[in-house]
Amino acid sequence: MTDLTYLSNQVLDAIRNTPEYAEFIRLLNHLRENPELYARVDEMRDKNFLIQQGDVGDPYDMMDALTNEYEDVINNKAVGEFITAEVALCKMIHEFNRNVAAGLEIE
């Protein structure tokens, strides 16, 4: 195992031991207890990703349509808590990646 592989495994362990990751996993498992809702959340996230990538139509119209189609999902408390936890975890990982990139001479 190279030093970098070893260190990346340490980072993974550190992330897995954060409150953000623990909360994300707790809420993910709670959401998975309702397979129908979990599937709708995944569908919504997939469509949202495509809209953000600009691969489909007018993004404003598409977001309005997405909001209308998934209003029940968006207004679900468990979904809101899950998405909030997911965003917190993603921000933490993004900050880590930014710190790594800032320490390297890459353009």
Q: What average pLDDT score do residues 12-19 get?
A: 97
- Cα 20 to Cα 26: distance, rounded to the nearest angstrom: 10
Nearest by Cα to 26 from 64, 80, 82, 77: 82
Using 50, 70 and 90 to split pLDDT, how confident is the model at 95?
Answer: very high
Percentage of the chain exceeding pLDDT 90: 86
Q: Is the pLDDT of residue 16 over 90?
A: yes
Confidence (pTM): 0.84
Q: Is the pLDDT of residue 107 over 90?
A: no
Using 50, 70 and 90 to split pLDDT, how confident is the model at 1?
Answer: low
- Cα 34 to Cα 89: distance, rounded to the nearest angstrom: 22
Please report which residue ranges of the chain form alpha helices under DSSP H: 3-16, 19-32, 35-53, 59-69, 71-74, 77-102
**For the domain with range 3-102, which CATH number is right: 3.40.50, 1.20.1500, 1.10.260, 3.30.1450?**
1.20.1500
CB 64 within 8 A of CB 75: no
Assign 105 to helix, strand or coil.
coil
Q: Is the pLDDT of residue 59 over 90?
A: no
Query: Mean pLDDT in the chain?
Result: 94
CB 65 within 8 A of CB 57: no
64-84, pLDDT tens digit by residue?
Answer: 999 999 999 999 999 999 999
